[in-house]
Structure 1
Amino acid sequence: MRFSLTVEQAEFRDAVGELLAKECPLAAVRAAWEAPPGSLDRHVWRRLDEMGVQAMLLPEARGGLGLDECALVPVLEQTGRCALPHPIVETAMVAAPLGVTGFVATDLGGRFVPCAADADVLLLRADPTLRAYRPDEVEIVAVTTVDRARRAATVTAVGEGTLVTDDPADIAAAELRGALGTAAQLVGLSRRMLDLTVAHVTQRHQFGVPVGSFQAVKHHAANALTRIEFAAPVVLRAAYSLASRAPTAGRDVSMAKALASDAAAMTGRTALQCHGAMGYTVEHDLHLLMKRTWALTRAWGDRAHHAEVVATALEGER
C-alpha cells in the first residue's frame, strides 16, 4: 500500500505552503504573542478561507470541498511549518466535519482552549454531548502558557449553546482528527526547525570552515531527519485510516501522534544545540517554533497517552 500524495493533493499543499511563506512569516507569529485578546490579525486566515482550506472536509452540499483527511493532512503540515497562530486544526479538522463553521475554538484538545477569546464559535464538551456556544454564552479567562501565540484560556459555559452531537462515536472521531491534525503540524514544525538549523550551520564558520562540515553536527542533523522521515509516512497512514474508516484508526492516529511528537522533540533539541548560545535567546525565531512544539506535543493527548493506546491495541491483536 502506498501513502504518497496524488498530483492534485501535492499541488494544493504546495500552493498553501507558498501562501503561508508569504503571508505568515515568523514575525506574524511573534506579533500574535502581543495582540490583545480578541484582536488576533485574521489576514492569513481569510486568505486560507479563500482557498477553501477551512472547508476541505465539509461536504460540497454545504459549501465545502468534500475532500477527506488524506487531502487535508499535508496542508496542515504546512500550517505547522509556519507555526500558524490560528485554530486551523480545531476549525478544519475537528469542527467542519461536525457541521460547525467559522473561526472555531474547542476544549477537546485539553483544558486550555487556544484562541478562545478570538473565536466566533466555541465547541465545548457538555458531557455526554458536544455543544456550540456563542462568545456571549461563555466566560473566558486568559492563561499564560509557554507559547503565547496560542492565546490559551479556560472557558466555562454560562449559556445553553446549541447541540452539535450526542453520539459518542462522533465525539471520539473528532478527538482522533484533532490528534492527527496536531501530528501533521508537528511534522511541519520539525521540518522548519531542521531547515533553520541546516541554514545556520552552513553559514556559521569556525576554524575557517562551516560548522556543518563537522562530523558531530552532521550526525545530529541526520538523526533528526531520520526521525522526521520515519514519522511523516505514519501520519499519512493515519490519515488514510481515518478517511477509509479503518478499524485500526485509533491505533494508527496514536502511533502518528507519538512518533511526530518524538520527531519534533528531538529536532528541537538538535536545533537548539546546533545554534549554540544564540539559540537560547527569546529574540531568535527558533524559540517560536520550539515553544509551539512543546505545546502541541502535550495537546490532544501526550506521548505517554498515545503510546499506551498503541500498546493496548497491539496486545489485543496478539
Structure 2
Amino acid sequence: MDFTFSQDQLLFQANVKSFFTNEVTPEHLREQWATDSGRSSALWAQLVELGLTSITVPETYGGLGMNELDFVLLAEECGYYALAEPLVQTMLLGVPLLAALDDGHQALKDTWLTRVVEGAARLAVGQPGNPLVADAHVADLLLMPHGDEVHALLPRDIDLTRNESVDPSRRLFRVDWTPSAATCVARGEQARQLWAITADRGALGTSAQLLGLAKRMVDLAVDYSFERKQFGKPVGSFQAVKHLMANVSVLIEFAKCPLYRAAHSLANGSTGQAVHISHAKLACSEAALLAAKNAIQVHGAMGYTWEVDLQLFMKRAWALDKEWGDRGAHKTRVRSALFSGALTPGAGATFAG
C-alpha cells in the first residue's frame, strides 16, 4: 500500500502550515481565553478565504469534494498549532454526516452545506454516550444523537450549560433539548450506520491532531533544551535528554503509517477501516502522551505551568486522548478483530490490502 501523498496534498498542507505559523500563535490562543466565546470570527473568515471550509463539501454544493485522506494532513496541522476553531469538527464530522442524509432532507443539505462553504455556518456534532459537545455555543447547526436517531438542531432549540475543560481553549457544553419529529433527520439502521461512521471520523480527526501535538511538543522541548544550560552546556547536549526525545520520535514515526492507512481506509470504504482507525488512535495517543510526559521532564518539570507554551499543547493532548473513544475502547475493538480471525497478525500483514 502506497502512502505517498500527492504534490497537491503536500502543497495544501504547506500553505496551511505557513498561515497557522503566523496567525495561530500561543499569544493568539491566550488572547482568545479572555473572550466570551473563546473563538475568533476574523480567524474563521481567514480559514474560509483559504478554502478550508470547502474541502470535504461535495462539488454539488460548491465545495471541493475532497475526502478524509485529503484532510488528514490539515487535521495534523490543526493539532500542531492547537487550533481552537471547530474546523476539524465541521469539515470531518459535520459535513459528511449532513451530506450522507437521504434525499428527503435535500433542502436541509442544500441550505447548510452551501452556508458552510460560504463561511456562514459552523457545525457541532454530539458524540453518542458523551453528554458534552465541543463548540456548541458557536455552532449554527448541531447534529445530535438520541437513541437510534440523528437530530438537526438550531441554537433556538437548545439550552447550554458550560463545563470547564483541562484545556482552556476547549469550550464544552451540556446540551439540553427536546427531541421531536421536526428535528429528526435519520432513524433506525440508517442512523446507527451514520453514527458509526461519524465515530470513526471523529477518532481519525482526533488521532491526526494528537500526532500534530506530539510533534509540536517535541519541537518545543528541543528548542528549550538548547536554550537552558547546566554546567556551561545546553541540557540538550546531555545523553539522557536526547533519549527522552528520541523515544518520542520513534513513537511518532510508528504512528504515521497507521494514521495515514486509517485515512486511506476511511476514504475508500475499506472493510477493515474500524480496526485501522482504532490502531491509529492508539498509536497517536501513545505518542502524544509520552511527548507530554517527556517534554515536561526536559522543561525541568515546569512545562505544565501557566506561562510556559508547552502546557497549551500538553493539555490539549490530555483532553483529546479520550475523545471519540478512549484507549480501552479502541484496544477492545482491535482485540475483538484479532481473536475473531478478522485481523491477520504478523508484520507481513500489517499494511496488506
| TM-score bracket for the superposition, by shorter chain length | over 0.9
Deviations 1:123-148 (A, max 9, x none): 11122111111111001000111112
Q: Which residue pairs with 1:230 in the alignment? A: 254
* Match of residue 113, structure 1, among 133, 141, 149: 133
Q: Show the counterpart of 2:68.
A: 69
**Unmatched segments (≥5 aa) in structure 2:** 99-111, 345-353
- SS of the equivalent of 1:116 reads coil
Match of 1:103 among 113, 122, 125: 122
Q: Does 1:124 align with 2:148?
A: no
22-31 or 206-215, which deviates more: 22-31
The two structures have a TM-score, normalised by structure 2, of: 0.86
Extract unaligned runs of 5+ from structure 1: none
Which structure's residues are more often helix, by fraction? 1
Greater than 4 Å deviation, 4+ residue runs? none
Aligned pair count reads: 317
Secondary structure at 2:176 match in 1:
strand
Asked if 1:219 is matched to 2:243, the reply is yes
Relative to structure 1, is the Cα distance of residues 141 and 299 closer, same or farther in structure 2, using a 3 angstrom cutoff?
same
8 Å CA contact 2:214–2:292 kept in 1: the answer is yes
- Give yes or no for contact 1:39–1:118 (8 Å, CA) kept in 2: no
1:277 CA displacement? 4.2
CA–CA distance in 1 between the matches of 2:179 and 2:145?
A: 13
Asked whether the equivalents of residues 3 and 233 of structure 1 are also in contact (C-alpha less than 8 Å), the reply is yes
19-28 or 98-107: bigger deviation: 98-107
CA gap of 1:296–1:88, structure 2 versus 1, over 3 A, is: same
Q: CA deviation at 1:5?
A: 1.1
Measure, in 1, the Cα distance between the counterparts of 2:84 and 2:304: 22
CA contact (8 A) 1:86 1:150 kept: no
For 1:171, the equivalent position in structure 2 comes to 195
| Aligned CA-pair RMSD | 1.5
Instruction: Spell out the pairing of 1:73-84 with structure 2 (5 A cutoff).
Output: 73-84=72-83
Which residue of the partner structure matches residue 272 of structure 1? 296
Q: Deviations over 1:261-308 (max 9, x none)?
A: 111000000110001143232111111111101110011011111111
Distance 2:38 2:262 in 1: 35
Deviations 1:206-234 (A, max 9, x none): 11111111000010000001111111221
Q: Structure 1, residues 79-128: CA drift from partner, whole Å, max 9, x if none?
A: 11110112222100001112354211222273321111121111111221
Contact 1:55/1:96 (<8 A) preserved = no
Q: Does 1:289 align with 2:313?
A: yes
Corresponding letter in the other structure for 2:254: F
The percent identity for this pair of structures is 38
Shift of 1:253: 0.5
> TM-score, normalized by length of structure 1?
0.95
**Structure label with greater radius of gyration:** 2
Q: Distance in 1 between matches of 2:137 and 2:275?
A: 33
Q: 1:24 corresponds to which residue?
A: 24
Cα pair 1:20 1:44 within 8 Å, conserved: no
CA distance in 2, matches of 1:107, 1:302: 16
